[in-house]
Chains A and B, each alone.
Chain A
Amino acid sequence: MQYSMEGLDFNSIPTFTCEGVEMPKERAVQIWKLTYKTIEEFVKEVISGNPALNQILGYISDNWDDAEEVTFEECFKEPNIEIRRLLFRGIGMEVMMKELKPELLGKETLIHKQIKWDDDNDQLDEVTHNKEVYELYKIEGTKFRSEKELEGKDEWEIRRMNYDTVYAVRCWCCSTDREYWIYVPEHACKNFDPIEAIAWTVRLNYTDPLFIMRQGDVIIAKNSPTSVECAPYHLDKETYSQLLVAAS
């Protein structure tokens, strides 16, 4: 079936914007289905408040039943962190926790300096401090396997299949309060310290930064007079905690 809006053919459009995130339209339908379960609920919760979406309702209705159910593995493998967030939210944390049984390795609050600016972009004299909560989790790779895949396997075989144990930092954006899961390597988790793990996610290639600022996933580091280009290195907990002066 063809769908048109002022001559626009929705079949030829590769992406939809789902909650502000542009993604393949098939993925958008999967997320809406995951989140709202029925097309009636989707219409009630989403379309009613956004009449403009009526234009794509035909496409969504026609593809609703055929949209494949998203597996946990698929959610975790989604490379785009915003789409991953919407998938996790669609499944629901309660379900994820129950099914995947992530092991909480540590929970810490990072308190860091927070510079702010007024409307004229002048720095405010008052320096506040920001609190960011981080949780570090471990999820066994077998949790992503179906019972059928594990059937008949001995402990050794299952351990061999467990190559993709996931270590992830669960954190919340200080601007939007959205929840994110960021993957980290095992060696960044050896002390079960989520701040050490999140520090690893900042990788620089200039030495001796004066400070760093973070806006979402973007990191800004100010070079010092002694800064020189170097091989990429990951920050440690102490350096990250000391250098971070603003996060939004």
Chain B
Amino acid sequence: MRKINKLQLTPGGAPEKHILKSKTDFQYASITPDGQSILFELKNPAVITHDEHDKIVLDQGVYVKTNQVEFNPFTKRIDYVFD
């Protein structure tokens, strides 16, 4: 587990997308090989901000971040929805 107080929840893209930030450090770790699912533990509240979406506030606890998925009808694979 790594410790940090600010984490971009979606890899790549503009830096203002889905930023998880807390006043204190929190632990996190990728739980899937693709890095899309992240487990993190908050000791204090944290906020997820995005330039186009309302914020989400999380109280202390253990959380899993993932992305929506879709079924690609052309490749027959399940892919993450990403923007």
Binding site for B on A (CB under 8 A): 20-22, 76-77, 79-82, 116-117, 121, 123, 141, 164-167, 173, 175-176, 182-185, 188, 201-206, 209-210, 213-223, 227, 229, 234, 246, 248
Contacts and interface: CB of A to CB of B under 8 A. Distances in A.
A184 B70 contact: yes
Given A76-B74, A80-B82, A205-B32, A216 B18 contact: yes
Interface size class of B (residues with CB under 8 A): 35 or more
Given A185-B71, A248-B55, A217 B81 contact: yes
Interface string B52-83: 11111110011111111111111000111111
Contact of A202 (B32, B47, B52, B68): B68
Interface of B: 9-10, 13-14, 18, 31-32, 37, 39, 45, 47-48, 50, 52-58, 61-74, 78-83
B57 A218 contact: no
Contact of A220 (B45, B63, B73, B74): B63
Contact of B9 (A173, A209, A218): A218
Given A77-B74, A121-B45, A183-B70, 15 more contacts: A121-B47, A164-B74, A166-B73, A167-B73, A173-B53, A182-B81, A203-B69, A205-B31, A205-B66, A215-B48, A215-B56, A216-B50, A219-B65, A221-B64, A248-B56
B60 to A, nearest CB: 10
Contacts of B10: 217-218
A215 B64 CA distance: 13
B51 to A, nearest CB: 9
Contact of A203 (B31, B57, B58, B66): B66
A215 B50 CA distance: 8
A219 B14 contact: no
Contacts of A216: 18, 50, 52-53, 83
B30 to A, nearest CB: 12
A188 B64 CA distance: 24
17 contacts: A79-B79, A81-B83, A164-B74, A167-B71, A167-B73, A182-B70, A185-B71, A202-B69, A203-B69, A205-B37, A205-B64, A209-B64, A218-B18, A218-B67, A222-B61, A223-B64, A248-B55
Contact of B73 (A117, A165, A175): A165
